[in-house]
Structure 1
Amino acid sequence: MTDAELLALASRLARHASDAILTVRAAGFAVEHKDDMSPVTAADRLAEAIIVEGLREATPDIPVVAEEEVSGGAELTATPRYWLVDPLDGTREFAAGRAEFTVNIGLVEKGVAKLGAVAIPAASEVFTGIVGMGAWKEDGAGNIRPIQARRVPEEGLVVMASRHYKDDPKLPAFLKGKKVQSIIQIGSAVKFCRLAEGVADVYPRFGRTMEWDTAAPEAVLVAAGGRVARFDGSPIGYGKPGWENPPFLCQGAA
């Protein structure tokens, strides 16, 4: 399959998973906790089943690394090319009745996020991107338009920050001396998407994330002309031990 066909597959499965998540939300659900005390719901499991089955059927030659399988004890290792799946990024937001949760399906090649689809179910939006080819936003009516990260406006930075680390002293320290227009604190990969479509400028992440949290949205943001890197400027990299990311910084166009 070509990169465009792989992206179309990821986008389609992200839509299907989004529909399933919203169905579970409408019906009601219980919140459980995994060994690391992070929340999980029937929506996480159903969405992952839809995505993993679809990916393995359409691309049997590309391994799939998915959050709930790994949490359940599956021992998976990185290969030169593999899918990274977070079926419901922002489970805490979902469980709290907020709109800031996503479905993330990314493809990694040689340790780099190559392409990805990020669906925002509550907004009926899907963001897609192929690094080196471009990024797009699809609305609930099926309209697709190209998107591009922006340069910082004269009014100052629009900062995206994590809701769950809103009191982290690292954020004001990072912003010290910078001209800041506003700070928006929300959950999930929605933050990457807002940078990619050019309505925000920077997202510093100091807390813990996993590779399935970032592969798809990183591909979208980079495809839109933005940047994602560790604070020293080096790449995040994929296939790390334990699938855990270091702190990182997302930025719009240079």
Structure 2
Amino acid sequence: MTAVQKQMRRGVPSPPPEALRDDHRFAAWAAEAAGRVLLDLRDSGLAGKELKDAGDLRSHEVLMELFARYAPADSVLSEEQHRGTAGRHDRHTARRVWIIDPVDGTREYSEPPRDDWAVHVALWQDGELAAGAVSQPALGRTFHTGSAPAARKPATARPRIAVSRTRPPAFVEELAAELGADLAPMGSAGVKVISVVRGITDAYVHAGGQYEWDSAAPVAVARSAGLFTSRIDGTPLVYNQPEVLLPDLLVCRPELAAPILDHLATHPINH
């Protein structure tokens, strides 16, 4: 028995019966299980790059073990798997593929007590995102497609746009000026998308390069909450593709979609 399996037996209980019957709740339970392991690891004394690397690997191992145990016929696309960790099954021929990001926002994860990092678990089935969960372990909350809240009304009269706290792109500053919006810096792509679901912000626009695992789960949750999602040219976000690079996206309140897309169509973006 591996060290990870021993830790799982101690710290990760069996899923509740409803999680085994419902993909939405299974996604949420799996994300929360990985999140608990990450919180324990965060308190272990590791720091900096060691904590980042250990968190990515440990969360990936936990999630892969859970899928092997409870969804053995499904395929998995993970950020860590893409880096070279062996996976199961061929996702290109599978009907069901779990798309996961074991730690979204490793920088923030490695900077306790920051809470703007997440675990992403999404299910792609027959060409569409069928379920998804974004767990924010340090916040003690998980948002999933089985009970996603309707997107809340804006918290302020001026729109707020979520941006990277370390490298906000210039094109978003131009967009904010045209919309009369304020910028809200935060970490983790998933946290930014969920901030729109929670009504903390009104839009998240990204064009700096991402991968499918960065957005699959949060986009699934955003869609179930009634938000608008697309590429920045207005075309649909498509997942489980041969090329996993999905470099841009827009998630926003429906009434902001047209003015944002109009602006992006007429203003060149330097990636």
Shorter-chain TM-score bucket reads: 0.7 to 0.9
- The residue aligned with 1:84 is 99
Mapped contact 2:27–2:131 kept (Cα < 8 A): no
* More strand per residue: 1
Q: Which one of the candidate residues 13, 30, 46 is aligned to 1:13?
A: 30
Instruction: Tell me the SS of whatever aligns to 2:22.
Output: helix
Sequence identity (%): 28
Say whether 1:65 aligns with 2:77. yes
Say whether 1:109 aligns with 2:109. no
Mapped contact 1:149–1:253 kept (Cα < 8 A): no
**Map of 1:1-254 to 2, 5 A cutoff?**
5-32=22-49, 40-72=52-84, 74=86, 77-78=91-92, 79-97=94-112, 98-130=114-146, 135=148, 147-150=149-152, 155-166=157-168, 168-180=169-181, 182-188=182-188, 189-254=190-255
Greater CA drift, 97-106 or 75-84:
75-84
Over 3 Å counting, the alpha-carbon distance change for 1:153 and 1:124 in structure 2 is closer
What is the CA–CA distance in structure 2 between the aligned matches of 1:45 and 1:174, rounded to whole Å?
Answer: 37
Alpha-carbon displacement from aligned partner over 1:64-120 (angstroms, at most 9, x marks no partner): 111112112548643332100101100011123322110000011234322111100
What is the CA–CA distance in structure 2 between the aligned matches of 1:55 and 1:93, rounded to whole Å?
Answer: 26
What is the CA–CA distance in structure 1 between the aligned matches of 2:156 and 2:44, rounded to whole Å?
Answer: 46
Greater CA drift, 210-219 or 39-48:
39-48
What is the CA–CA distance in structure 2 between the aligned matches of 1:3 and 1:200, rounded to whole Å?
Answer: 34
What is the CA–CA distance in structure 2 between the aligned matches of 1:84 and 1:17, rounded to whole Å?
Answer: 14
* More helix per residue: 2
User: How far 1:129 moved relative to its partner?
Assistant: 0.8
Mapped contact 1:101–1:190 kept (Cα < 8 A): yes
Greater CA drift, 2-11 or 100-109:
2-11
Over 3 Å counting, the alpha-carbon distance change for 1:156 and 1:115 in structure 2 is same
Q: Provide structure 2 residue ranges, at least 5 long, that are not aligned to the other structure.
A: 1-17, 256-271
- The residue aligned with 2:10 is none
In the superposition, the TM-score normalised over structure 2's length comes to 0.78
Alpha-carbon displacement from aligned partner over 1:129-152 (angstroms, at most 9, x marks no partner): 15xxx51xxxxxxxxxxx112466
What is the CA–CA distance in structure 2 between the aligned matches of 1:163 and 1:72, rounded to whole Å?
Answer: 29
What is the CA–CA distance in structure 2 between the aligned matches of 1:3 and 1:164, rounded to whole Å?
Answer: 39
The runs of 4+ residues in structure 1 deviating greater than 3 Å are 1-4, 30-33, 73-80, 150-154
Alpha-carbon displacement from aligned partner over 1:220-243 (angstroms, at most 9, x marks no partner): 000000021111111121123331
- The residue aligned with 2:13 is none
What is the CA–CA distance in structure 2 between the aligned matches of 1:223 and 1:47, rounded to whole Å?
Answer: 26
**Larger Rg computed on CA atoms:** 2
Instruction: Tell me the SS of whatever aligns to 2:178.
Output: coil
* Aligned residue pairs, count: 233
Mapped contact 2:155–2:201 kept (Cα < 8 A): no
Instruction: Tell me the SS of whatever aligns to 2:43.
Output: helix
Q: Provide structure 1 residue ranges, at least 5 long, that are not aligned to the other structure.
A: 34-38, 136-146
